[in-house]
Amino acid sequence: MTRYLITGARIADPASDRLYEADLRIADGFIAGIGDLDPSGEEEVIDAHGRLLAPALIDMRAHSATPGGAASAERLSQTASAAASGGIGTLILAPNGACGLSSPEDIDWLDAQALTLPVRVHGAGLATANGELNEIGLMLRAGALYLSDGGQPIADSRLVRRALSYAAGFEAWVSLRPEDAHLIADTVAHESDLSSRLGLPARPGVSERFGVERDTGLAELTGGRLILDRITTADGIAAARAARQRGLEVAITVPVSHLVFNEVDAGNFDARYRLDPPLRSEEDRLALIDALARGVVDAVVSAHTAVGSVAKANPFADAVPGTTSLHALLPALLTLVETGQLDLLSALRPVTSGPADLLGLAQGRIEEGAPADLILIDPSAPVVLGDGAVRGGAKSAFAGRRLFGKILMSFIEGAIILQP
């Protein structure tokens, strides 16, 4: 295995909250040394002066073709390649309508596939189906990193209680999309002045707060470990913080799309911006950024969903929600840094040590002995995002966006998987 010595890089390590200049040695897939290092002569030296070295990203929520899912516009290998190009080193697929992962066999399948993929791929297991618990224990034993409601709120509070309670016995996290299932039924937009003028069926922001309140209440009741999945409103953030102040162990994730776009982006009925949850108000977007700056958010997720071009080729309300976003995760966050809204470590933490600490992963940090999952980046380089989509896929919501942050090189387990 090739050894590398990366010299003169500025190292950003959110785990230790440090930003410093040093050399870094990679050997046997791990970080073998950090400091003022001399070349040993048996390693490839990479001059990284003026570049930023950060942990490769960990994306806690993406979707791709998996057993039991509906037809996907993208194969798993394509999703993994897109993740690699986006600087993601660990990709966690979560079940949703189009992504299966509801049995231990599904998780095993994913593990087997992962062997041939350029990035680390793990799965989250679907906690319930048809009003009953799935085999939570066996899925966890097979390697599921957490459990999920499938991305849509479970209306039945008793079932949610049981899922949280059962998973608590394994100290496993349960990811719930906090929303009132009845208030959001048949809606496609955020309830606001804009959506009411457009005549779009819309859900009130308060529905997310109700969801947070119910789910944190049930976590309190059961002692369950709760991930509040894809919080998108100021109210939702406030309710989640209130639960934490009561001493509850709840994690918060935020979708990258909602850091970049607001409801006005969808205001011309552009189906590319038909997302779930729907794009919210500008106040909500700013509240999410503020929550990032305050360190309230554990993970920013891509929620990457490759929608087929046919499924998107409909009027806004009839288009399938979702967008490709693996290519946007890092630039979206670095743009907040470049524009002075966020400091570098706060921007990187929710895509590195944040999810790593939550799920007990060894990667996502730069320290001796940690896996050498690293990215070398130019954080200030302007980029124009493309589709991040495969042939036959719909145009990305991010296509054409001008952001900052270019990935120059990417290492997973000490091997270069991406270089110019």
Stretch of residues binding other proteins (CB under 8 A), selected from 22-30, 58-66, 189-197, 364-372:
189-197
Please identify which residue in 49, 193, 360, 420 interacts with other proteins, judged by CB under 8 A. Answer: 193
Asked whether position 273 contacts other proteins by CB under 8 A, the answer is no
Listed residue (285, 213, 212, 210) closest to 255, CA to CA: 285
Listed residue (52, 4, 82, 17) closest to 407, CA to CA: 52
Q: Which is nearer to other proteins, 201 or 369 (by Cβ)?
A: 201
**Three-state DSSP class for residue 147:** strand
Stretch of residues binding other proteins (CB under 8 A), selected from 110-118, 191-199, 212-220, 328-336:
191-199
The phi, psi pair for 136, rounded to 5°, reads -60, -45
Binders in 299-358 for other proteins, by CB under 8 A: 310-311, 313-318
Asked whether position 380 contacts other proteins by CB under 8 A, the answer is no
Please identify which residue in 200, 329, 336, 403 interacts with other proteins, judged by CB under 8 A. Answer: 200
For CA atoms 97, 103, 60, 326, give the dihedral sign: negative
Q: Which is nearer to other proteins, 270 or 368 (by Cβ)?
A: 270
Please identify which residue in 159, 198, 248, 415 interacts with other proteins, judged by CB under 8 A. Answer: 198
Q: Report in angstroms how near the CB of residue 191 gets to other proteins at its nearest.
A: 8
User: CA 183 to CA 172: how far, in whole Å?
Assistant: 29
User: CA 350 to CA 357: how far, in whole Å?
Assistant: 10
- Contact present, 367 and 340 (Cβ < 8 Å): no
- Contact present, 26 and 414 (Cβ < 8 Å): yes
User: CA 72 to CA 83: how far, in whole Å?
Assistant: 16
Binders in 252-271 for other proteins, by CB under 8 A: 268-269
What six digits make up the tokens of 86? 């986006």
Stretch of residues binding other proteins (CB under 8 A), selected from 126-134, 136-144, 194-202, 233-241:
194-202
Residues 6+ apart with CB under 8 A from 341: 289, 293
Q: What is the DSSP string of 138-158?
A: HHHHHT---EE-TTS--S-HH
Asked whether position 197 contacts other proteins by CB under 8 A, the answer is yes
Stretch of residues binding other proteins (CB under 8 A), selected from 75-83, 156-164, 195-203, 213-221:
195-203
- Alpha-carbon Rg for the chain in angstroms: 21
Q: Report in angstroms how near the CB of residue 199 gets to other proteins at its nearest.
A: 3
Q: Report in angstroms how near the CB of residue 274 gets to other proteins at its nearest.
A: 10
Q: Report in angstroms how near the CB of residue 271 gets to other proteins at its nearest.
A: 8
Residues 6+ apart with CB under 8 A from 170: 136, 137, 140
Q: Report in angstroms how near the CB of residue 171 gets to other proteins at its nearest.
A: 42
Stretch of residues binding other proteins (CB under 8 A), selected from 197-205, 216-224, 254-262, 292-300:
197-205
Binders in 82-111 for other proteins, by CB under 8 A: none
User: CA 203 to CA 255: how far, in whole Å?
Assistant: 18
User: CA 126 to CA 344: how far, in whole Å?
Assistant: 34
The footprint of other proteins (CB under 8 A) covers 192-193, 196-201, 268-269, 310-311, 313-318
